[in-house]
Structure 1
Amino acid sequence: MRDVAKLAGVSVATVSNALNLRGNVSPDIKERVANAVEMLGYAPHAGAQRLRRSASNLIGVVIADIANPHFGALAEELESSASGRGYSVIICNSGEDLARERRHLQTLLSHRVDGIVLIAAAGDSNERIAMLSRIGVPLAVVDRAIAGLSFDTVTLDDRRAGALVAEHLIGLGHRRIGVVSGPEGVSTARERLEGFREALASVGVPLDPRLVIDGGFRADRARSNTQRLLASAERPTAIFATDLMMALGVLSAVGDAGLVCPLDISVAAIGDNPFATALHPGLTTVAQPVNAIAAAAIEALLASIARSNDEPETSTRIALEPRLIVRGSTGAPQAGVRR
């Protein structure tokens, strides 16, 4: 708070009054304090009573997109795992927006959480790196790794997941395979695509870059871009979607084109939940061990919380093993496939 006061050119008491809406603070002073808070990334603590406590027994969870079934399931498992260890959880949704993610992190700090689990929004910035590097509480990164930071990180083995899909489709006889991927700056999209490409290359099958399209982790974008892919002169015989939301868009585009899966085209994805089995035919997927990911993340976070200040900081990277589940959406390419 002293840094905020110095930058704003006011007293510490004035900063406190402005942030807590007490006293007669002029609009000009409020604006100067707000600007200083924004520049310094300062997050005021909520409530004097909580300030006097050594621990809040609160954990904050910031997820990237609550509308994505994978993240919803992960949030549920994180809450369950933390609750079983005596912690209450505050869940925030960034909606894949970096500015919103930052506001949520500041809010969680103001509520004096003991630690934070972050499923990072798509995109990256020096501002995010700077804020997280000085966040001041234990933090565990889940699902999407963040380059340049040494926090405990728990993910799927995304390269292996992509390779499993490639090996399955190659084994069925597919050679012309399309990929619907997410933003390259997101580790899950990048690693899954690389694992897929490497597995194809290992058996002498190149991945045609013209068949790799952006789905933005959204069903609607995946649908529209897949429609264009399927309208090409030489459409693929199979499509790999790097997450389940995009797979739903791919399947919609397949139906829009009047094609039948897997007779005309095979579809496989990473991410497994009841949607995958409710579809007809069922969707071939790579399952993510959501409960194990959540349990490992909470375990790592609580170990960091328990670590005394004079102990050296350490960080671990845990990549959990994926599992291929073959269902009816994939099959061998048919001779004389309908065009």
Structure 2
Amino acid sequence: MAHRQAQRRSSIHDVASRAGVSAATVSKVLAGVTTVKPENAQRVFDAVEHLGYRVDPLASDMRRAKRRIIGAIMPEFESEFFGQMVSELEGLAEQRGYTLVAASSRESEAREKEVLARMHDWRVAGVVLAPVRNEHGPAAGFMKANGMTGVLIDRVLADDAFDTVSADSAAASAEVARELIGKGHRHILVIGLGQQAATVRARLDGFRAKALELVPDVRIDVVLSESEVEPLRALLHDYFDKGAKRGERPTAVYSLFLKGTLVALSEFRRRGWHCPDDISLVGFDDAEWMQVTWPAIAAVVQPVRQIAAQAMDVLFARIDGGDGPPKARLEPCKVLMRESVGSPGSGPHSGGGNRQ
């Protein structure tokens, strides 16, 4: 049986031989050095095209000790926010001639550190890390201990070791409070995950501070779940049942995370409540289903593109040798008050008027 010989990958020396120049000249042309004679540069480009030559990143980067690879670690890929974030980071990395390698921590700090250690073994040039909880987690500690170049995004505040870029969650939540208070809501339920996440603290504190500033006697109930869907569903069910026995319930719900918005809406529908006639709903983070359902769900829209662009600008500035103390950047969000928000009193909000 005949065996076909595998085609040998063209080398920089093959390009140099065909173009009639030195390998050093080929390297300069491919690196964008403009001092090479135009005719020689054109011969190099013609040889590259004819031979189908591609730079071997492993061979070239081993000489530089760092590869042209950027690592990105996200808590998960299922949400539109993190999915779009990876897509934006990938495009920005490729614009600079780098390849993005993305991985999910699956909301586990142990896995987050493990993935980061592998990226360190690969000698990535830099890392964009969206930590599971905050800037003080084990992965950020590993980056600092091993002298890695990186930027922290999303669930972070300021840090003394790394630049941070995140949405201005506190200001956005303050705007939500202003909108709900302005429509007459005086009993509001806030739901979210455990307060260990920096963004949850910022969102809750921003909302509470503005609401109390506007109406000091406003009632703000808080239901937090340490994990996501099922525990929160049980907590909400219990919360509303207890309120029904006392003949009371909130006139509005503000969810601090996307899945919480869906859980709240599901609980409303199970009880036969309709937005905004019976109860208003606002969610932090936007998704396509929130825009196309009826009524459309009011949402805080995070600036994904701006966060990605700022993160990559900062990261490559550090890769290129930029120094100075780390900076914390906050990107403004948009608050879209859609049809799920109305004024209390248009439905059976008070006095035990729950429709089961």
| Residue of structure 2 equivalent to 1:321 | 332
Report the more deviating stretch, 290-299 or 198-207: 198-207
Structure 2 Cα separation of the partners of residues 217 and 149 of structure 1: 29
Equivalent residue for 2:237?
Answer: 227
How far apart in 1 are the matches of 2:90 and 2:76?
16
Alignment CA distance shift 1:332-1:217 (3 Å): farther
- One of 149, 152, 165 as aligned partner of 1:141: 152
Quote how far apart the aligned CAs of 1:294 are: 0.5
Supply the distance in 2 between the matched residues of 1:161 and 1:290 (Cα, whole angstroms). 14
2:198 counterpart of 1:187: yes
1:193-237 Cα distance to aligned partner (Å, 9 max, x none): 00000111111334646x201144733333332222222232111
Q: Partners of 1:312 and 1:83 in 2: how far apart?
A: 24
Report deviation, 1:128.
4.4
Q: 2:228 maps to which residue?
A: 218
Q: Which of residues 47, 67, 88 is equivalent to 1:77? A: 88
Contact preservation (8 Å) 1:129, 1:149: no
Output one character per residue of 1:148-207: Cα deviation in whole Å (capped at 9) or x when no partner. 542110001111011011111111110100000222111110000000001111113346
1:279 maps to what in 2? 293
Identity %: 30
Q: 1:216 to 1:85 in 2, by over 3 A?
A: farther
Q: Secondary structure at the match of 1:214?
A: strand
Rounded to whole Å, the distance in 2 between the matches of 1:75 and 1:52 is: 29
Paired residue for 1:56? 67
Alignment of 1:97-136 (within 5 A): 97-122=108-133, 127-128=138-139, 130-136=141-147
Taking the aligned partners of 1:51 and 1:207, their CA distance within structure 2 comes to 62
For residue 274 of structure 2, what is the amino acid of its counterpart?
Answer: V
For residues 252-291 of structure 1, the aligned pairs below 5 Å read: 252-291=266-305
CA distance in 2, matches of 1:99, 1:146: 21
Structure 1 spans left out of the alignment, 5+ residues? 1-46
CA distance in 1 between counterparts of 2:160 and 2:104 reads 22
- What is the one-letter code of the residue matched to 2:252? A
- Write the mapping of 1:143-182 to structure 2, written as runs, cut at 5 A: 143-145=154-156, 149-182=160-193
Distance in 1 between residues matched to 2:304 and 2:227, nearest whole Å = 18
TM-score by length of 1: 0.79
Describe the SS at the equivalent of 2:83.
helix
Q: Aligned letter for 1:164? A: E
Aligned length: 290
Q: Which moved more, 1:83-92 or 1:102-111?
A: 83-92
Residue type of the partner of 1:181? G
2:91 and 2:226 map into 1 onto residues whose CA distance is 29
Query: Aligned in 2, Cα 1:153/1:165: closer, same or farther, shift over 3 Å?
Result: same
- Distance in 2 (alpha carbons) for counterparts of 1:260 and 1:205: 28
Question: 2:117 corresponds to which letter in structure 1?
Answer: Q
Aligned-pair RMSD on alpha carbons? 2.3
1:306 is the counterpart of 2:320: yes
- With the length of structure 2 as denominator, give the TM-score of the two structures: 0.76
- CA-CA distance at 1:285 after TM superposition: 0.7
Match of 1:43 in 2: none
The one-letter amino acid of 2:209's match is: E
Query: What letter corresponds to residue 301 of structure 1 in structure 2?
Result: L
Q: State how 1:84-99 maps to structure 2 within 5 Å.
A: 84-99=95-110
Name structure 2 gaps, 5 residues minimum.
1-57
Separation in 2 of the partners of 1:48 and 1:207? Answer: 64
Q: Assess if the C-alpha contact under 8 Å between 1:217 and 1:246 holds in 2.
A: no
- Matches of 1:224 and 1:123, distance apart in 2: 26
Q: Secondary structure at the match of 1:178?
A: strand
Instruction: Check conservation: 1:61, 1:89, Cα contact below 8 A.
Output: yes
Q: Match for residue 25 of structure 2?
A: none
The offset of 1:130, in angstroms, is 3.5
Larger of the two Rg values belongs to structure: 2
- Specify whether residues 116 and 81 from structure 1 end up closer, same or farther in structure 2 by C-alpha distance, changes over 3 A only: same
